Structure 1
Amino acid sequence: MNADARRVQRIYLALMLGNTLAASFIWGINTLFLLDAGLTNFEAFAANAFFTAGMVIFEIPTGVVADTVGRKVSYLLGTVTLAVTTALYWMLWLWHAPFVWWAIVSVLLGLGFTFFSGAVEAWLVDALAFVGYRGDMESVFGRGLVVDGIAMFGGSVLGGVIAQATNLGVPFLLRAGVLVVMFVFAAFVMRDLGFTPDKSEGPLAATRTVLRDSIRYGLRRPSVRYVMLAAPFASGVGIYAFYALQPYLLELWGDTSAYGIAGLAAALLALAQVFGGLLAPRIRRLFRMRTTTIILASVAGALGLIALGLNSIFWLAIILLAVWGFVFAAVGPVRQAYLNGMIPSKQRATVLSFDSLLGSAGGVVIQPALGRAADLWGYGTSLVIGGAIEVIAIPFLFASRRQHDPADAAIDAAAPVPVSPEGVPPDAAAPKG
């Protein structure tokens, strides 16, 4: 790796560190925070659903910002939006505001995250290609996952401890403060390398172009389409499980005010993420096809959630949680490399944002549905149902595998496979064994 590539990677890792540290201050206590504000289980997960609905609504418009104004501008807008809406969340908690206000601010939180989704990843891949990096992308994404996990561990543990020592609102104020720091950092160090914003169209025309390119290079390309269609089931269940595990572990522990135990759930997932990121490149090399890794991880993740839901022993739940988190983390870099290997540079942020949109759309439906199941039958049953829903994603992954896309077996994903105007790689018509 040359000096320029190392600098690009260091900036990417710093952005990951700051973003995740800020976000993770509340990850261990978010559900408890909403319940403490007077919301029911259904309302708490409905608020989360409005957050993901915001991501669905704004994903395409903010994708226009990333692809027509610049990835740096998109990132800066994300930090400002999230800092402001996080502060608003704290104020709603202080006021015990009615649910309608939680729904509105949750949608705006989703807006903040859509400025990030696709933009930072697209910035990294294009910048590395521009400076001549020719290594495999699993290693880079894996390092990002390790840094992500370390930040998540520190932030979630610290957030739980601070909440127990003070109150559930202080971690939200810390989050807003770190986001302000990240705005200043990114303003000075980020540069859009290897990418020239297309400003030839107005906002409405650009939005139409983004939608057309999302379909052309995403849904119209079978190998990409089936991976994206699997996202609503895997992402929707994953988001619910992450937040449901906080009160579920407290329930198994026997003390609903032990916020440190709630933080432990996020901390364990953070450690699992660190190991998953470290081992992702090695796990990838165990199999010839990337889709083999993704499919096996999906099966293991679904079974892990079902086992978690059926279990009633706290310490066994901790072990199952760590295993589930490791599987979820290890497959992430492989899926990222697979998708990036099939997307042209100019449309990268657009298609990645559309993939995120589909994942968020699943969360809009699945989170409140599973939250209602938790109200009626308990968290354990809701996790079992979630595991069953996650299984639905597996046939789509097999369908993507059957397309024999070159990116499935490629080791170097830094440069995407050439795509024809019809959205099909030049050699995709020839089946590969």
Structure 2
Amino acid sequence: MSAYRRNIGLNYILSFFLFANLAASTIVVFLQDNGLSVAQIFILQAIGPLVILLSELPTGVFADVSGRKKSIVVACVLFGLASFLTIFSHSFFSFLFVLSLAAFGSTFYSGSGDALMYDSLREERRTRFAKLAFSNNALFRLIGLGSAVILGAFIASINYRLNFALMSVISLIALFVALKFKEPESTARIKAKTVWKETINAITLMLHVRPYVILMLALAVLSNISLVILIYIQFYLAGFGVNLFLFGFVYAALAIMQGVGVKVGSFIETFLKPKYFSILVMILYAASLGLLGISDSLVFFLVNAHLFMFVSGLFGAVFADYQNRFVPSMTRATIGSFSAIVNSFIFVLIIIPVGLASELFGLGAGVLLVALISLSIIPALGLRIDDDIILKSVDDGL
């Protein structure tokens, strides 16, 4: 097996460990037990995206100048440090610091992981398998998250902080995996002395590629609404009196449903044109979110939550593949980071009014507001995705 093909497998393993967030299903309860209010928790959820807004582009440039491997290694180190410091955090401001540090670490990985995987496929002349690779990678992330939340919920029922100690160890394992990557030799690099000029030129160029912009906005809106709903699920489960240990099983089941959605979405897309696939997925997404917003019992809520997570898995790998076809190798990490900035900005736009609505009028009002946002925006984005999505990578001569 070549080193570049091995990169793909290593990235699957890395994704498993980096997304094995033991605290994911209980972080809201953990923060509440430390005396934080609902408003403070939503503020903390918004801090990460704000940090990303400030640091994502410089770290993406770092990856394009210094290499994707170095960037991923830095991410693993910062994740481990943030997890370790969380063990000793008790106040709003201490949580503010560690969550900001974790968000800063995520910016070193966000554009680099996908860029390294896509460039490795390009090195092997296997970019036609990119959609399969992205869907497999998403599945490994969800398996890592699903298994971690079950274990994490059990550990949290004993001691919350032990989760963060174990996550520090997991970050060390991820670091070991990252050090095994081989940087694709043919990947073009931005020269350090002209880095910002070339970065601005690259972003300006991509903003004139209409299909890329539409896909970037669609992914940002869809993924952020899914993230907001995952936050709400913890509030709802606590409100319904669900045992903390059961949080993990609920989150694991949701991750499995999303993973099934990833594979089903990749399969369905092979039979539909991009426009029809996008419209179908986005209508299903908005409808499932609307059902979730009117759930008034635990059973109804759980059924609709699983339906929503299945639908939310349909688009991710497919849209990521579409996006990468438009991005040249030399600036792939930088452009990926720019997309993450847009993603974070949209998250802040969504989370602040939703958090205020939840604080003033209750959780149901917040979910209904998210549903209204999705029903008004998502179908319109789907209608603007063209059928003429490029079928070959831009690096293959298009």
TM-score scaled to structure 1, two decimals?
Answer: 0.86
Amino acid at match of 2:287: L
1:138 matched to 2:138: no
CA–CA separation in structure 2 for the residues paired with 1:83 and 1:173: 9
Change in 2 beyond 3 A, CA 1:355/1:189: closer
Residue 54 of structure 2 corresponds to which residue in structure 1? 57
1:193–1:398 CA distance, 2 compared to 1 (3 A): farther
Change (3 A) 1:154 1:331: same
Alignment of 1:267-416 (within 5 A): 267-289=252-274, 291-391=275-375, 392-401=377-386, 404-407=387-390, 410=391, 415-416=393-394
Deviates more, 1:366-375 or 1:224-233: 224-233
CA contact (8 A) 1:231 1:362 kept: no
Task: Give distance in 1, aligned partners of 2:213 and 2:124.
Answer: 30
CA distance in 1, matches of 2:98, 2:127: 43
Look up the equivalent residue of 1:288 and give its one-letter code.
Answer: K
Change in 2 beyond 3 A, CA 1:90/1:36: same
Report how many aligned residue pairs link the two structures: 397
Is the partner of 2:282 in helix, strand or coil? helix
Describe how 1:208-223 pairs up with structure 2 within 5 A.
208-217=197-206, 219-223=207-211
Please state whether the residue corresponding to 1:188 is helix, strand or coil: coil
The alpha-carbon deviation at position 196 of structure 1 amounts to: 4.0
The answer (yes or no) to whether the contact 2:118–2:127 under 8 Å persists in 1 is: no
Is the contact between residue 147 and residue 252 of structure 2 (CA under 8 Å) also seen in structure 1?
A: yes
Tell whether the 8 Å contact from 1:343 to 1:351 is kept in structure 2 after alignment. yes
Q: Does the aligned pair in 2 maintain the 1:72–1:192 contact within 8 Å?
A: no
Which residues in structure 2 correspond to 1:257-276 (within 5 Å)? 258-276=243-261
The percentage of counterpart residues that share the same residue type is 23
Report matched runs for 1:17-166 at 5 Å.
Answer: 17-21=16-20, 24-92=21-89, 96-97=90-91, 99-164=92-157, 166=158
* Residues 193, 155 of structure 1: alpha-carbon distance in 2 compared, 3 angstrom cutoff: farther
Conservation of the 8 A alpha-carbon contact between 1:149 and 1:273? yes
1:179 maps onto 2:189 in alignment: no
| Displacement of 1:336 | 0.6
Tell me by how many angstroms 1:348 deviates: 1.4
Greater shift, 344-353 or 372-381, is seen at 372-381
1:238 corresponds in structure 2 to 226
Q: Distance in 2 between matches of 1:160 and 1:381?
A: 27
- TM-score, normalised by the number of residues in structure 2: 0.93
Runs of 4+ in 1 over 6 A off after TM superposition: none
Q: Which residue of 1 aligns with 2:12?
A: 13
In the alignment, what sits opposite 1:422? none
Aligned counterparts of 1:365 and 1:105: Cα–Cα separation in 2: 22
Q: 1:206 aligns with which of 185, 195, 199?
A: 195
* Amino acid across the alignment from 1:416: V
CA gap of 1:149–1:232, structure 2 versus 1, over 3 A, is closer
Contact 1:225 1:400 survives alignment (8 Å): no
Distance 1:104 1:211 in 2: 30
CA contact (8 A) 2:322 2:389 kept: no
Stretch moving more, 389-398 or 326-335? 389-398
Alpha-carbon distance in structure 1 between the residues aligned to 2:147 and 2:188: 37
Letter in 2 for 1:250: A
C-alpha deviation, 1:263, in angstroms: 2.0
Gaps of 5+ in 2: none
Q: Which amino acid counterpart does residue 83 of structure 2 have in structure 1? A: T
Distance 2:28 2:305 in 1: 17
Shift of the alpha carbon at 1:292? 2.7
* Residues 1:406 and 1:228: Cα distance change in structure 2 (over 3 Å): closer
User: How many angstroms apart in 2 are the aligned matches of 1:149 and 1:236?
Assistant: 16
The whole-number CA distance in structure 1 between the counterparts of 2:104 and 2:345 is: 14
Report the aligned-residue RMSD. Answer: 2.1
**SS of the residue 2:121 aligns to:** helix
In 2, Cα distance between equivalents of 1:296 and 1:246: 29
CA contact (8 A) 1:230 1:396 kept: yes
**Partners in 1 of 2:78 and 2:71 — Cα distance?**
11
1:429 maps to which residue? none
